Structure 1
Amino acid sequence: MNPIELQTPRLRLRRWREEDREPFAALNQDARVMEHFPGLIPRDRSDATVDACINAFATRGWGNWAIERRDTGEFIGFTGLSIPQRRFHFSPCVEVGWRLAHAHWGQGFATEAARVALQVGFQQLDLDEIVSMTAVGNLRSQAVMRRIGLVDTGEVFEHPGVPEGHPVRPHCLFKISAEQWRAARG
């Protein structure tokens, strides 16, 4: 499959470039961005995430896109679809997710990018369902999930990738089926 690249009115969702590594590492070291993660992500793990994203596009043609502002060309973070590496009780699944630099919060970029990611998932990849998860206290991401049409399952689970006893270990699960997505658009 040829790699999928997308545009919205304000954003370009594209494959990763080498020059994205530095700003991505910087946002992974921003305590505001990483507030609902177990900790800041060191450069080697940040680069490994970029490598995994590049590999997903090389093998599947889709994954987590780098997000670039069309007006400035600036890299601002990522959004996209991924197959979680960890096993969850709801696996196998495809997850929609995002992470944006703090300077770009509150402008609707996460919602705009995630909506087009869902569209790819349901129209081009013919997925039956897409999930999203976040720490229970991450109300901003939960608001994005609701805006893009995901439904709160009401389920709280312990994220296996977060150390036991850590305050962000409890996660909530949101989902949307292809049928729900089509009905909301129709």
Structure 2
Amino acid sequence: MLSLIPNYSGSNYRAIIDNCPINRWPQDEINILDGNCSFCVDYLGCVEVSEPTNSQICCESFAKLYREFETGICHANPSVLWITGYELRVVEKKSKNLVLAQIMENVLFCATTTHNSDQLFYTCRDTYNDRWLCYLFVVKRNMSDRLCKAIGFAFRMCERRKIIREGLETNMTTKNNRSTG
């Protein structure tokens, strides 16, 4: 799609998004760039996982928590998931309280469960306690694929900024190390 790191300013990037044949939700990508992308979800909670990239372990954790949700042991929290190129935020719908916020650099893995298309999870590094957590959501109106794609796009934006930032830092150190004479 893009061969070089693009300039994300203005209409040039929006034109690239609109002309991409494989893009099914171009408005989501534009909204992520603008910081206005949100989805209505039911936040179930989080579970500590030992292998954050193993989707089977995450699916088993989700199944356990989802059974508790169905039997009434735990309750879903109707929330809004905000996605930007910098972070994921979950805000409670009624009280507008911030439930959780993670920077995109800590997000490792996002997927839907194999047996139910309205269940979504992502794993994220808890840097304070040095552990991996799997955050679990029930997505409304079968939008889990769309939500996964939006989180993936936000992660790519974060990685591109990181590459640019590290490239600039490398260039600055080489310029400072050169002697003038």
Q: Which TM-score band (shorter chain)?
A: under 0.3
Give the TM-score of the pair, scaled to structure 2. 0.26
More strand by percentage: 2
Higher RCO (CA-CA < 8 Å; seq separation 6+): 2
Rg (Cα) greater in structure: 2
Give the TM-score of the pair, scaled to structure 1. 0.26
More helix by percentage: 2
